[in-house]
A and B are shown apart, each in its own frame.
Chain A
Amino acid sequence: MESSSSQEFIQHLINGISLGSIYALIALGYTMVYGILQLINFAHSEVYMVGAFAAFYASRSLGLDQHPGVGALIVILAAAVAACSILGVTIERLAYRPLRKSPKLNILITAIGVSLLLQFSGQIIFGADPKLFPEVIKDVVLFEIGGVDVRSMDVTILVIGTLFMTGLHFLVHHTKMGTAMRAVSSNGGVAALMGINVDRVISFTFIIGSSLAGVGAVLVGLKYPKIDPLMGTLIGIKAFVAAVLGGIGSLPGAMLGGVLLGLCEEMVVAYFSSTYRDALAFGILILILLFKPAGLLGSLQREKV
């Protein structure tokens, strides 16, 4: 009895971390854009939704659900990443850039507008009824350790999540473009004095953030294979909560916040009631805003004079 309950706990732990790494991927997009523009990009959740549909149509047109496996997974990931980065960079160019110099509230409201526009355009283009996401990875038990099932789905999610987050960390900390991103985020005007093309860095940020949303969309599609044009709303808000929890603007914060939120959700569902699953995220948001508004890893930078 004792061992079976601890096995159960470990099972929930795995589930929670895999759900959390999906939140983390999407949260990174919010936090990156916030770090550079101080804008909550509400359209991010719809970029994510479009990623799921891009993967869906890519798979359908190529008949990939007939040939599941790593190859098919890579193809639909590429489709989602391509669609998301194009959409993300287009939104920035058409909706946010013209408003760069206007008050922050104007851009924020525009972001909400873009989000609604995409949700309902999605309903017209893709249809409002849910679609079944292709099962390009069969969810089987790969192996068992001490009575805990290790499933292919969770392994896929963890491997891909870790891969992309490590890649992002490398990009941001060990490349010239990544350093430029951090420079722009700290002071755009001075960054331009260094010869950094700030517009280009912002576009690049949207490309990277949106790509991660695309990856997240594929992983969610694999785990919860029902997709519809409004699918971004709830997970978007949760990812946003994860970003705030970790400290908005902080990349490690978004990753930590995502994993923590996923774990909390899984544990609440497992040990209390699934009714509280969604309430939890909002409860966390309220607590964070009340007691630690800068988030777990966020900090308010002060300049020395």
Chain B
Amino acid sequence: MNKGEVVSLIGANGAGKTTTLRALSGMIPFSGGIEFQGQNLAKVPSHQIVRLGLAHSPEGRGVFPNLTVAENLQMGAFSRKDKAEIARNLEHCYELFPRMKERLKQKAGTLSGGEQQMLAISRALMAQPTLLLLDEPSLGLAPLIVAQIFEIIKKVNKEGVTILLVEQNARMALKVSNRAYVVETGKITLSGKGSELLNDPRVVASYLGGH
């Protein structure tokens, strides 16, 4: 991946997209090598990877339901010490998601699905990542909310964060991506620019459901 890109992995259930992200952030062990900014991640434990600038917003959002929104965000910045910078990031999250600020004291479990997804993304951003892994940000959300979330993804990327996106909503994903890979049962079967794949007949037939 190159700096500043949005790359997406698309493909059917069980193809290995989520597994790829989980390996990247150290949630599962893997053989072979993954390099991030010149460092091999194979031996780095999960909780240290985020310090290298790689934040992961997991599938199913994974917000802490018993913690308040504010506490969830605080946990996102767990490994950081620079208080002033953290406060600045927090302000930035409120700009991206104005609704966060209204709900700071609320338990994350009481938020709607869309709000939880926004919280999950904000929380990942609180780590001030250079690479953001997003796993199925559209999962189970209404189309209007999905559109909002993809707007935010574009915005975050414009601010210089590289994004690796895993999506089943291939059309949405391809629209925002510079490059994309189609994954089938653990193998990459197609790759190319997002705009090209969007019009590729094989992708259209298998993942976009025709027009």
Contact = CB atoms under 8 A, between A and B. Distances in A.
A190 B127 CA distance: 13
A209 B123 CA distance: 29
Contacts of A305: 60, 113, 139-140
B78 A190 contact: no
B66 interface: yes
A196 B65 CA distance: 17
Given A193-B50, A195-B48, A195-B79, A176 B74 contact: yes
Nearest to A35: B66
B18 interface: no
A89 B190 CA distance: 51
A189 B58 CA distance: 10
A2 interface: no
B101 interface: no
Contacts of B60: 303, 305
A183 interface: yes
B109 A193 contact: no
A237 to B, nearest CB: 28
A179 interface: yes
Contact of B47 (A182, A198, A303, A304): A198
A195 B47 contact: yes
A189 B47 contact: no
B79 A187 contact: no
Contacts of B196: none
B52 to A, nearest CB: 10
B64 to A, nearest CB: 4
Contacts of A123: none
Interface in B29-53: 45-48, 50-51
B62 interface: yes
Contact of A193 (B25, B66, B116): B25
A304 B140 CA distance: 10
A5 interface: no
A194 interface: yes
Q: Could you tell me the dominant secondary structure of chain A's interface residues?
A: helix
Contact of A304 (B45, B56, B109): B109
Interface residues on B, range: 20 to 34
A71 B112 CA distance: 54
Interface string B164-176: 0000000000000
A182 B56 contact: no
B75 interface: yes
Of A182, A185, A190, A194, most buried by chain B (CB within 10 Å of CB) is A194
A173 B82 CA distance: 22
Given A193-B50, A194-B50, A195-B51, A304 B116 contact: yes
Interface string B62-92: 1011110001001110110000000000000
A194 B65 contact: no
Nearest to B58: A190
Contacts of A176: 74, 78
A292 B6 CA distance: 50
A195 B64 contact: no
B27 interface: yes
Give the interface centre of B26, B47, B66, B116 by most chain A CB atoms within 10 Å.
Answer: B47
9 contacts: A182-B64, A182-B66, A186-B65, A186-B66, A189-B62, A193-B46, A194-B47, A195-B50, A195-B78
Interface of A: 176, 179-180, 182-183, 185-187, 189-198, 301, 303-305
Given A176-B78, A182-B64, A189-B58, 4 more contacts: A193-B47, A193-B58, A198-B47, A304-B113
Interface of B: 25-27, 45-48, 50-51, 55-56, 58, 60, 62, 64-67, 71, 74-76, 78-79, 109, 111-113, 116, 123, 127, 139-140
| In the A-B complex, the 6 residue pairs with the closest CB atoms | A195-B79, A190-B62, A192-B46, A195-B50, A186-B64, A195-B78
